[in-house]
Amino acid sequence: MRLTFLGGAESVTGSNYLLEHEGKHILIDCGMFQGDETLEKKNVEPLPFDVHTIDAVFITHAHIDHIGRVPLLVKEGYSGPIYSTAPTKDEAYELLLDAYTLMTHKYKGDIDPPKPLFEISDIDEAMSQWHTIEYHKTMQSGPFKITYYDAGHILGSASIVVEAGLPAQAGGIKVGFSGDLGNVPAPLVKDTEYLPAVDYALVESTYGGRIHPPMGERKEKLRAIIQETVAAGGTLLIPAFAMERTQELLYELNELVEHKRIPEVPIFIDSPLAIKMTSVYKKYLNNPSFVDSETRGLVKSGDEIFNFKGLDFTVTTEESKKINSVLPPKIIIAGSGMSNGGRVLHHELRYLPDPQSTILFVGYQSDHSLGRQIINGAHEVTIMGDTVPVRARVETLGGYSAHADQPLLMKWIGALQPKPKTLFVVQGDVEEQKALRGAAEKELGIHAVIPKAGEEIELV
pLDDT tens column, 343-360:
999 999 999 999 999 999
- State the average pLDDT over residues 94-100: 95
Among residues 94, 84, 78, 56, the alpha carbon closest in space to that of 126 is found at 78
H or E stretch at 449:
strand 448-449
Model pLDDT, residue 109: 65
Model pLDDT, residue 321: 95
Q: Residues 17, 403, 370, 209: is their CA dihedral positive or negative?
A: negative
pLDDT digit string, tens, across residues 266-281: 999 999 999 999 999 9
Q: Which amino acid is at 96?
A: L
pLDDT at 215 over 80: no
Model pLDDT, residue 179: 97
Model pLDDT, residue 430: 92
Contacts of 38 (CB under 8 A, 6+ apart): none
Separation CA 220–CA 211 (nearest Å)? 18
- For 328-386, the DSSP string reads SSEEEEES-TTSSSSTHHHHHHHHTT-TT-EEEE-S---TTSHHHHHHTT-SEEEETTE
Q: Residues 193, 291, 269, 257: is their CA dihedral positive or negative?
A: negative
Torsion angle of the four alpha carbons 148, 153, 156, 157, in this order, in degrees rounded to the nearest 10? -40
- CA 445 from centre of chain: 30
Separation CA 117–CA 153 (nearest Å)? 27
Model pLDDT, residue 168: 44
Model pLDDT, residue 19: 98
pLDDT digit string, tens, across residues 168-207: 455 689 999 999 999 988 889 999 999 999 999 999 999 9
Model pLDDT, residue 166: 60
Distances (CA, A) of 52 to 79, 80, 84, 86, 238: 8, 9, 21, 26, 44
Separation CA 394–CA 376 (nearest Å)? 10
- State the average pLDDT over residues 243-265: 92
pLDDT digit string, tens, across residues 282-303: 999 999 999 999 999 988 888 8
- Check if CATH label 3.40.50.150 holds for domain 215-399: no
Distances (CA, A) of 325 to 314, 320, 347: 14, 10, 12
Model pLDDT, residue 107: 66
As a CATH number, domain 2-210+402-458 is: 3.60.15.10
Among residues 205, 231, 149, the alpha carbon closest in space to that of 364 is found at 205
Distances (CA, A) of 112 to 36, 107, 292, 358: 22, 9, 49, 39
- CA 37 from centre of chain: 20
3-state secondary structure of 93: helix
Q: Return the domain boundaries, the chain.
A: 2-210+402-458, 215-399
Separation CA 40–CA 29 (nearest Å)? 17
